[in-house]
């Protein structure tokens, strides 16, 4: 169903140039709508939120060439360029939990700071390790174009 | 006489402002969304300006400045209205804040685009990507668990720290399920993003994270969520693509790995 919707939208913009911005927004809205229908199907113990499903759906649509890059990239790149601003309300949301911060805020902030660095460094070096294994143990190609 | 008129003026202006912000009893339900949108824009733009004249000093990152300044302004307003910050935040800021917050939905979906642009890397390294995220998360969980213990968090605090690698909407219910405080977990997810946004460039340099572009991308996406992905895109297309895939895959991995880890460590 959703795929058909998207296919018709792709056909309406057959030219090589970018689709009109309203069409691009329409594609995003359609994907969000379908994702919001799928998200409640997951059990409460295994939550998968709407935007995560939406990311997967858009990736599948792009990879299967149902949606072309020119149908979505103008609006998508614009949204990505806004991401830091879109996080401002999340940051200000901390105003609602100032009492938690008062109670054990310093400890929590220290743990969160360390956890952030740990996640970044451990994941990065674990990956480097697996790439090294691929190259030196399994002798498979590790070259990528920049 | 003069003092009386001054007080009367104050009362009139106070009522007008209160109505406009939706903090008075009468206007509480209306809740003008424009204040939240306007405040968010002003503090963020001020942050951008400060970042520019501060020659890119890391504590002047617009998101960080916007967050601190925004909370401070809400705190001052709450004082002026004689209410507490949390109440004022909910009645005056939240309606507008929620409108901006909603746009994180399409913005998150949009990360499928940089992901797809480097589909060659995804196809070639999918096994390494998935394995690295699983193994990397398990190692990180052990480190975070013992660091939390060392710093003296109680079991509720530790449980709240466990799911923070996932996106907020996944991390919060998981934290609740393993006996954590969902508000603390939400705070962790937000601070992850703010920390990566403010310190990301410096951390990448200091820990030589970028020596492996795939690892740099996965690390930034895991630690900084979608904000990490935006940071990763600045390093290069491979990093951006890998961070986008990390945001999705790590969330699912947290879904699967954190509850059994928590019961193994005796948190539940």
Q: Domain segments of chain A: what residues? A: 2-86, 94-136
Other Cβ atoms closer than 10 A to A6? 22
Task: Reply yes or no on whether the pLDDT at B268 is more than 80.
Answer: no
Whether B163 contacts B258, CB under 8 Å: yes
Distance from CA of B20 to the nearest CA of A (A): 20
Whether B94 contacts A40, CB under 8 Å: no
**pLDDT above 90 as % of chain B:** 63
What pLDDT score does B99 carry? 94
pLDDT band at B27 (very low <50, low <70, confident <90, very high): very low
Same domain, yes or no: B98 and B220: no
Residue B36 CA to residue B93 CA, distance in Å, equals 4
Mean pLDDT (chain B) is 88
Higher pLDDT, B264 or A146: B264
**pLDDT above 70 as % of chain B:** 88
- Give contacts of B66 with chain A, Cβ < 8 Å: 85, 88, 91-92
- End residue of a domain, out of B43, B70, B102: B102
What pLDDT score does B66 carry? 93
pLDDT band at B11 (very low <50, low <70, confident <90, very high): low
Residue B219 CA to residue B139 CA, distance in Å, equals 13
User: Closest by alpha carbon to B221, among B199, B202, B201, B240?
Assistant: B240
**What's the token pair of residue A8?**
């018709």
**A91-108 as b/e, with b when 16 or more CB fall inside 10 Å?**
bbbbbbbbebeeebeeeb
pLDDT band at A63 (very low <50, low <70, confident <90, very high): very high
**A51-83 as b/e, with b when 16 or more CB fall inside 10 Å?**
bbbbbbbbbebbeeebbeeebbbbbbeebbebb
Tell me what the mean pLDDT of segment B141-147 comes to: 96
Residue A75 CA to residue A64 CA, distance in Å, equals 20
User: Closest by alpha carbon to B251, among B214, B217, B225?
Assistant: B225
Residue A15 CA to residue A1 CA, distance in Å, equals 24
pLDDT band at A13 (very low <50, low <70, confident <90, very high): very low
Same domain, yes or no: B135 and B243: yes
Nearest-CB residue to B43 (from A87, A88, A109): A88
Whether B40 contacts B34, CB under 8 Å: no
Tell me what the mean pLDDT of segment B142-146 comes to: 96
Nearest-CB residue to A131 (from B203, B214, B224): B214
Residue B71 CA to residue A93 CA, distance in Å, equals 8
Nearest-CB residue to A109 (from B140, B191, B233): B191
Same domain, yes or no: B149 and B33: no
What pLDDT score does A58 carry? 96
Question: Touching check for B141 and chain A: CB below 8 Å?
Answer: no
Task: Reply yes or no on whether the pLDDT at B3 is more than 70.
Answer: no
Task: Reply yes or no on whether the pLDDT at B13 is more than 80.
Answer: no
What pLDDT score does B28 carry? 44
**What's the token pair of residue B240?**
């951006």
Question: Structurally, how many domains does chain B consist of?
Answer: 2
Asked if the Cβ–Cβ distance from A95 to B75 is below 8 Å, we say yes
Residue of B nearest to A94 (CA): B187
Same domain, yes or no: B75 and B152: no
Asked if the Cβ–Cβ distance from B187 to A119 is below 8 Å, we say no
Same domain, yes or no: B38 and B112: no
Same domain, yes or no: B63 and B120: no
Whether A13 contacts A20, CB under 8 Å: yes
Of A31-35, A102-106, B150-154, B229-233, the range with the lowest mean pLDDT is A102-106
Residue A46 CA to residue A83 CA, distance in Å, equals 26
pLDDT band at B245 (very low <50, low <70, confident <90, very high): very high
Distance from CA of A42 to the nearest CA of B (A): 12
What pLDDT score does B74 carry? 94
Residue B248 CA to residue A58 CA, distance in Å, equals 12
Residue of A nearest to B206 (CA): A121
Same domain, yes or no: B116 and B206: yes
| Count of CA atoms in the C-beta half-sphere (13 A) of B222 | 36
Other Cβ atoms closer than 10 A to B260? 10
The sign of the dihedral angle between the CA atoms of A52, A53, A59, A63 is positive
Q: Which residue do the tokens 């104050």 mark?
A: B10
pLDDT digits (tens, 9 = 90+) for A89-111: 988 988 888 887 787 888 999 99
Asked if the Cβ–Cβ distance from B136 to A126 is below 8 Å, we say yes
Same domain, yes or no: B83 and B130: no
Asked if the Cβ–Cβ distance from B43 to A107 is below 8 Å, we say no
Of A12-16, B34-38, B75-79, B258-262, the range with the lowest mean pLDDT is A12-16
Q: Which residue do the tokens 């940051």 mark?
A: A91
Task: Reply yes or no on whether the pLDDT at A44 is more than 70.
Answer: yes
Question: Touching check for B191 and chain A: CB below 8 Å?
Answer: yes
Nearest-CB residue to B143 (from A69, A100, A122): A122
Residues 6 or more apart whose CB falls under 8 angstroms from that of A8 comprise: none
User: Closest by alpha carbon to B254, among B222, B232, B206?
Assistant: B222
What pLDDT score does A143 carry? 82
What pLDDT score does B12 carry? 67
Same domain, yes or no: B252 and B138: yes
pLDDT band at B182 (very low <50, low <70, confident <90, very high): confident
**Domain that residue B53 falls in:** 2-102
**What's the token pair of residue A125?**
């070096």
User: Closest by alpha carbon to B43, among A85, A97, A83?
Assistant: A85
pLDDT band at B5 (very low <50, low <70, confident <90, very high): low
Tell me what the mean pLDDT of segment A48-73 comes to: 94
């Amino acid at each position: 169903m959703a795929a058909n919707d998207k296919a018709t939208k792709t056909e309406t913009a057959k030219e090589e140039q970018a689709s009109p911005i309203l069409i691009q927004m329409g594609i995003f809205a359609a994907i969000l709508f379908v994702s919001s229908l799928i998200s409640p199907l997951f059990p409460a113990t295994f939550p998968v939120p709407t935007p995560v499903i939406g990311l997967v759906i858009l990736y599948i649509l792009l990879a299967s060439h149902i949606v072309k890059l020119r149908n979505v990239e103008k609006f998508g790149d614009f949204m990505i360029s806004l991401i830091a601003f879109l996080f401002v309300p999340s940051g200000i949301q901390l105003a609602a939990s100032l009492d938690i911060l008062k109670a054990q805020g310093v400890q929590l902030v220290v743990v969160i700071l360390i956890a952030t660095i740990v996640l970044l460094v451990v994941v990065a070096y674990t990956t480097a390790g697996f790439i090294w294994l691929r190259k030196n143990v399994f002798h498979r190609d590790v070259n990528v174009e920049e | 006489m003069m003092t009386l008129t001054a007080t009367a003026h104050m009362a009139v202006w106070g009522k007008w402002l209160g109505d406009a912000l939706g903090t008075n009893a009468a206007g509480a339900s209306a809740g003008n969304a424009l204040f939240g949108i306007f405040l968010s824009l002003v503090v963020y733009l001020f942050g951008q300006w400060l970042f520019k004249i501060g020659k890119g000093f890391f504590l002047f990152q617009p998101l960080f400045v916007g967050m601190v300044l925004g909370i401070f302004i809400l705190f001052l307003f709450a004082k002026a209205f004689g209410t507490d910050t949390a109440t004022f935040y909910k009645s005056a800021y939240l309606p507008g804040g929620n409108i901006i917050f909603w746009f994180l939905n399409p913005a998150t979906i949009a990360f499928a685009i940089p992901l797809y642009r480097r589909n060659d890397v995804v196809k070639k390294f999918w096994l390494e990507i998935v394995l690295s995220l699983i193994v990397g998360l398990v190692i990180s969980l052990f480190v975070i668990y013992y660091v939390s213990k060392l710093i003296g968090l109680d079991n509720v605090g530790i449980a709240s720290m466990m799911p923070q690698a996932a996106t907020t909407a996944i991390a919060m219910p998981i934290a609740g399920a393993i006996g954590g405080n969902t508000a603390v977990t939400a705070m962790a997810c937000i601070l992850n993003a703010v920390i990566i946004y403010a310190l990301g460039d410096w951390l990448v340099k200091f820990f030589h994270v970028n020596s492996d572009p795939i690892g740099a991308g996965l690390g930034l996406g895991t630690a900084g969520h979608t904000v990490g992905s935006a940071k990763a895109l600045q390093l290069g297309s491979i990093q951006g693509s890998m961070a986008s895939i990390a945001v999705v895959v790590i969330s699912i991995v947290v879904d699967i790995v954190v509850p059994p880890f928590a019961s193994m460590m005796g948190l539940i």
